[in-house]
Amino acid sequence: MAESWVNSAERIGVDLHLELPGPGGRRAALIRALREAVRGGRLAPGTRLPPYRSLAADLGVARNTVADAYAELIAEGWLTARQGSGTRVADRAVPLRPAERVPVKAPARARGTRHDLRQGTPDASAFPRAAWSAAYRRALQAAPNEAFGPGDPAGRRELREALTEYLARARGVRTDPDRIVICSGFAHALRLLFGQGAGQTAGQGSGGVLRGPLAVEAYGLDFHRGLLAAAGVRTVPLSLDEHGARVDGLGRERAVLLTPAHQFPTGGPLHPERRAAVIDWARARGTVVLEDDYDGEFRYDRRPVGALQGLDPERVMHIGSVSKSLSPALRLGWMVLPERYVGPVLAAKGEREGWASVPDQLALADFVASGSYDRHVRRMRQHYRRRRDRLVAMLAARAPHIEVTGIAAGLHAVLRLPSGTERSAVKAAAWQGVALDGLAAFRHPDTDMPAPDGLVVGYATPPEHAYGAALEALCGVLPPG
Ligand SMILES: Cc1ncc(COP(=O)(O)O)c(C=O)c1O
């Protein structure tokens, strides 16, 4: 049996955990354990080791055993001993070889990217650092001690109350705090709703609230389709036209996933008649509509489209996150659920909060309740509107043959291209270091609707100083008129 100990932090200023095998060979075992700790980087160069006596007492070995082990490691060059400063890890102790580290996949920015015009992220340089820090500080100071224990899987009540008020006011969502479950974003919501296969970590609840087949829009985020496929959920594409998803194509699917406020990625709102029709379908089928409200806050020159959920809170799951409004790095989102789904979603989440940091939830609650969220969203709306206007003006001047669509809302635009030119434009962009996607990247593989040529241009992503150059570069890769 392995025996382990943790030495007291007061004596040497660091906690050190070692494991020694059972009786016999203690000196050799201690040497091996210390050598491993140094080699693996757990004991950094310069770290002071415990005095013989305290280490011997902690380990239940003779003082001489420790003294001998230290002497051996000093002789080998792993440790050094100097009068008055005790025994320390030697400076030249070999660090972990790079090859032994767990390889981490580089984040999504493509190699060679000079101008990042991919959709999907807000302007990271505009994150409201000061206001968020102030909210965080206030939230931590006000938090009761129990907030630092295991979290409630429903999420902090403070946040659910703040969201209830905000979503009602800003998005027309009808709910109360007991029907909101906090999650880490839309992707997490999909995992909770469709189960383990969608990438859940073992031990984090059972998942599987809904089952496929699930109707989805013929153009959408490939990543989400991938999550669903991994969960074994078959998705059935609904064609799109200028009024959004053709919900008259709904049949015997078990649920439908839509982006009603701003079809992703093509850009229009779902027509009012279709909003009503999809609710009728859900009522008749006894099922639900999943509403992905991914950029509901960013409306420029058309009336804001309220949440579909407002039409029937018992037939729509409204799902949102701060990924577009604040940052996708926060991993905070919410599910506003019909009453009958609250229990199953909580059961899927598990007994404790295992996903969304409780202090971050409290900070967001303060951020929303104090009005900082509204202020930030208003400021960003202006910021993105100006960017959109620059994009539109630039294209009107330099590429008037290119139609720009989907621009009344959101953080991206779709540039319609002459038929047959999308692939070469995407290639030219990659060649010039301009990161963007063609419409084909979002197309459901099973749809038979016509495939328009287009580029999806995220105008939020570049930092302010780089935006002009990014637009210039974009103009350089468009097909000639
Ligand atoms: C269509 C769509 N839905 C939802 C999201 C938000 O995802 P999450 O909340 O998991 O960050 C995004 C973000 O890029 C999106 O593009």
Q: Is 110 contained in some domain? A: no
Domain match, 190 and 205 both: yes
Give the pLDDT score at 112.
Answer: 78
Alpha-carbon distance 404 to 412, whole Å?
A: 10
Same domain assignment for residues 51 and 183: no
Q: What is the pLDDT of residue 415?
A: 97
Angle (nearest 5°) at CA 293 between 289 and 299: 135
State residue 3's pLDDT score. Answer: 42
Question: Is the distance from the beta carbon of residue 265 to the nearest atom of ligand 1 less than 6 Å?
Answer: no
Could you read off the pLDDT of 441-481 as tens digits, one per residue? 999 999 999 999 999 999 999 989 999 999 999 999 999 88
Q: How far apart are CA 305 and CA 299, in angstroms?
A: 8
Is 326 found in the same domain as 397? Answer: no
In a shared domain, residues 360 and 443: no
User: Which atom of ligand 1 is found nearest the CA of 320?
Assistant: 9
In a domain, 106, yes or no: no
* In a shared domain, residues 299 and 165: yes
Is the preceding omega at residue 107 within 30 degrees of 0, hence cis?
no
Shortest CA distance to 477 belongs to which of 455, 446, 460? 455
Given 338, 371, 404, the domain boundary residue is 371
Residues 293, 417: one domain?
no
Residue 90 lies in a domain: yes
- Residue 264 Cα: closest atom of ligand 1: 1
Identify whether 364 is part of a domain.
yes
Q: How far is the centre of ligand 1, averaged over its atoms, from the C-alpha of 15 (Å)?
A: 41
Among the three residues 371, 397, 420, which one is the final residue of a domain in this structure?
371
Question: What pLDDT does residue 76 have?
Answer: 79
| pLDDT for the residue numbered 320 | 98
C-alpha–C-alpha distance, residues 313 and 316, integer Å? 5
Instruction: Examine the domain organization and report whether 290 and 320 are in the same domain.
Output: yes
Same domain, 172 and 220: yes
391: containing domain: 115-122+375-477
Q: Provide the β-strand partners of residue 450.
A: none
Which of 330, 347, 371 is the C-terminal boundary of a domain? 371
Q: Is 328 in the pocket of ligand 1 (CB under 6 A)?
A: yes
Residue 57: per-residue pLDDT: 82
pLDDT-flagged residues of the chain (< 50): 1-6, 8-11, 106-107, 198-207
Using an 8 Å Cβ cutoff, are 419 and 351 in contact? no
User: CA neighbours within 13 Å on the CB side: how many for 64?
Assistant: 0
Residue 470 belongs to a domain: yes
| Domain containing residue 440: CATH number | 3.90.1150.10
**Same domain, residue pair 330 and 343:** yes
- 355 and 400 fall within a common domain: no
284 CA to middle of ligand 1, Å? 29
Instruction: Decide the pairing of beta strands 244-245 and 115-116.
Output: unpaired
CATH number at residue 21: 1.10.10.10
Rounded to an integer, what distance in angstroms lies between the CA atom of residue 17 and that of residue 9? 11
105 belongs to a structural domain: no
What backbone torsions phi and psi does residue 113 show, to the nearest 5 degrees? Answer: -70, 125
Query: Is 242 found in the same domain as 198?
Result: yes
Ligand 1 centre and the CA of 185: distance in Å?
7
What CATH number corresponds to the domain at position 132?
A: 3.40.640.10
Considering the domain boundaries, does residue 103 fall inside one? no
Number of domains within the chain:
3
Best substitution site from 186, 266, 322, 444 to test ligand 1's pocket, by max atoms within 8 Å of Cβ? 186
Report helix angle 186-194 to 222-230, nearest 10. 20
Structure-block tokens of residue 110: 């493509």
Q: Flag whether 214 is in a domain.
A: yes
Alpha carbon distance 67, 71 (integer Å): 6
In terms of domains, do 357 and 406 share one?
no
